[in-house]
């Protein structure tokens, strides 16, 4: 939370969240506030705990102690680095994940994803980039209050990455709060408004993006940026 944000502007509040597995502390008493209507980037080296924290925030993994205050699960969506795609056509996949959509709305979202000519193709036969587009529009069509994204452009080509980023910007403009992981510094600087830096399961630094990239405070943050 940046200095000009008040608690009333938060959409997620995390207090002393701890996750331990097989005697190893994976997330260590993390406390943070995620501001509503912002794009928050969760960053850190591989193994820092980013994906685990996303899963805990989304309620997919039960934490051992601490507290997470967030919108009801039906008001949240998450898109994984490897999207979850059903064994049905692209059209029927979208119909399943967003059952309230009309046929016209389904066609519109499929068109926005650039998949009109693939609408009746098996969703699992789509390319990696096409599957990620389908997963993203499936999440956005539900109009969630908060969207969790776990490296949504990893391994995607330029065109697919550009599409995903444009949809993130559009969702943010419509009022959706975004929490996203990324290792791409250019992407972090293009999209990020707030930064949470994790290291070995600990929250090391929180800051507005422009402050983090120009004057990080923690030595580990400076080292991270030097190698990002």
Q: How confident is the model at residue 1 (pLDDT cuts 50, 70, 90)?
A: very low
Tell me which residue of 164, 212, 215, 158 sits closest to 42, measured CA to CA. Answer: 212
List CB contacts of 192: < 8 A, sequence separation 6 or more: 39, 40, 41, 209
Is residue 67 within 8 A of residue 19, CB to CB? The reply is no
Instruction: Supply 75's token pair.
Output: 């008001």
Q: What are phi and psi of 53, to 5 degrees?
A: -65, -45
Q: Do you know the residue count of the chain?
A: 228
User: Which secondary structure element, helix H or strand E, spans residue 177, and what is its range?
Assistant: strand 177-181
Report how far residue 70's alpha carbon sits from residue 54's, in angstroms, rounded to the nearest whole number. 12
Q: Write down all domains in the chain, each with its CATH number in brackets.
A: 7-81+149-226 (3.40.50.300)
96 pLDDT more than 80: yes
Alpha-carbon torsion angle 34, 35, 37, 42, nearest 10: -40
Please, what is the Cα angle at 199 between 44 and 69, to 5 degrees? 85
- pLDDT tens digits for 136-191? 999 999 999 999 999 999 989 999 999 999 999 999 999 999 999 999 999 999 99
The pairing of beta strand 194-199 with beta strand 24-35: unpaired
């Amino acid at each position: 939370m940046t200095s000009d944000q008040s608690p009333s502007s938060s959409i997620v509040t995390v207090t002393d969240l701890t996750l331990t597995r097989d005697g190893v502390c994976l997330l260590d008493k993390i406390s943070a506030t995620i501001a509503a209507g912002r794009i928050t980037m969760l960053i850190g080296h591989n193994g820092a705990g980013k994906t685990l924290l996303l899963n805990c925030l989304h309620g997919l993994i039960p934490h051992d102690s601490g507290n997470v205050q967030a919108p009801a699960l039906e008001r949240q969506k998450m898109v994984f680095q490897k999207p979850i795609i059903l064994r049905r056509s692209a059209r029927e996949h979208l119909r399943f994940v967003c059952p309230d959509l009309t046929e016209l709305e389904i066609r519109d979202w499929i068109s926005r994803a650039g998949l009109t000519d693939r609408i009746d193709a098996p969703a699992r036969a789509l390319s990696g980039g096409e599957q990620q587009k389908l997963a993203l529009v499936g999440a956005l069509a539900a109009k969630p209050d908060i969207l969790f994204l776990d490296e949504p452009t990893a391994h995607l080509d330029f065109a697919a990455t550009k599409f995903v980023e444009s949809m993130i910007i559009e969702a943010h403009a419509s009022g959706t709060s975004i929490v996203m992981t990324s290792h791409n510094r250019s992407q972090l600087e293009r999209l990020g408004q707030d930064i949470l830096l994790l290291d070995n399961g600990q929250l090391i630094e929180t800051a507005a993006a422009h402050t983090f990239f120009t004057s990080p405070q923690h030595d580990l943050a400076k080292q991270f940026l030097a190698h990002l």
